[in-house]
Amino acid sequence: MLDIKFVRENPDAVRENIKKKFQDEKLPLVDEAIDYDARLRAAITEANDLRASRNALSKKVGMLMGQAKKDPSKLEEAESVKAQVKAQADRLAELEAMESELEEKLRAVMMRIPQMIDPSVPIGPDDSYNVEVQRFGEAKPPEFDIPYHTEIMESFGGIDLDAARRVSGNGFYYLVGDIARLHEAVLAYARDFMIDRGFTYVIPPFMIHGNVVEGVMSFPEMDAMMYKIEGEDLYLIGTSEHSMIGRYIDQIIPEAQLPLTLTSYSPCFRKEKGAHGLEERGIYRIHQFEKQEMIVLCRPEDSMMWYDKLWHNSVDLFRSLDIPVRQLECCSGDLADLKVKSCDIEAWSPRQGKYFEVCSCSNLGDAQARRLKIRVRGEDGKLYLAHTLNNTCVAPPRMLIAFLENNLNADGTVDIPEVLRPYMGGKEKLVPKNK
Extended strands (E) in 275-333: 288-298, 325-329
Q: How far is the C-alpha of 435 from the C-alpha of 428, rounded, in Å?
A: 20
Q: CA-CA distance, 260 to 199, in Å (whole number)?
A: 8
Q: Could you tell me if 152 and 430 are in contact, meaning their C-beta atoms sit under 8 angstroms apart?
A: no
Check: CB of residue 255 under 8 Å from CB of residue 376.
Answer: yes
Which residues have C-beta within 8 Å of that of residue 127, sequence separation ≥ 6?
A: 330, 331, 333, 334
Q: Tell me whether residue 299 is one of the annotated catalytic residues.
A: no
| Candidates 329, 332, 398, 405; catalytic one | 398
Can you tell me the distance from the alpha carbon of 299 to that of 303, in angstroms, rounded to the nearest whole number?
7
CA–CA separation, 391 and 388 (whole Å): 11
Among 82, 106, 74, 78, smallest CA distance to 5 is for 106
- Quick check: is 279 catalytic? no
Nearest to 198 by CA among 76, 307, 296: 296
**Given the residues 360, 362, 371, 375, the one annotated as active site:** 360
Task: Write down the catalytic residue from 270, 326, 351, 371.
Answer: 270
What's the length of the chain? 435
- Kindly give, in sequence order, each residue whose CB lies less than 8 Å from that of residue 171, ignoring residues fewer than 6 positions away: 272, 285, 286, 287, 288
Q: How far apart are CA 224 and CA 229, in angstroms?
A: 15
- Residue in 46, 103, 184, 357 annotated catalytic: 357
Residue 342 annotated among the catalytic residues of the structure = no
Residue 235, sorted as left (phi over 0), alpha (psi -120 to 50) or beta, turns out to be beta
247 among known catalytic residues: no
What does the DSSP assignment read for 342-397?
EEEEEEEETTTTEEEEEEEEEE-TTHHHHHHT-EEE-TTS-EEEPEEEEEEEE-TT
Backbone phi and psi for residue 408, each to the nearest 5 degrees, phi listed first: -80, 140
Q: Annotated catalytic residue: which of 51, 197, 281, 285?
A: 285
- Which among 228, 293, 283, 260 has a CA at the least distance from the CA of 403? 283
- Residue 264 bears catalytic tag: no
Q: How many CB atoms lie within 10 A of CB 359?
A: 27
Q: Is 75 helix (H, G, I), strand (E, B) or coil?
A: helix
Q: Which of the residues are catalytic?
A: 270, 285, 357, 360, 398
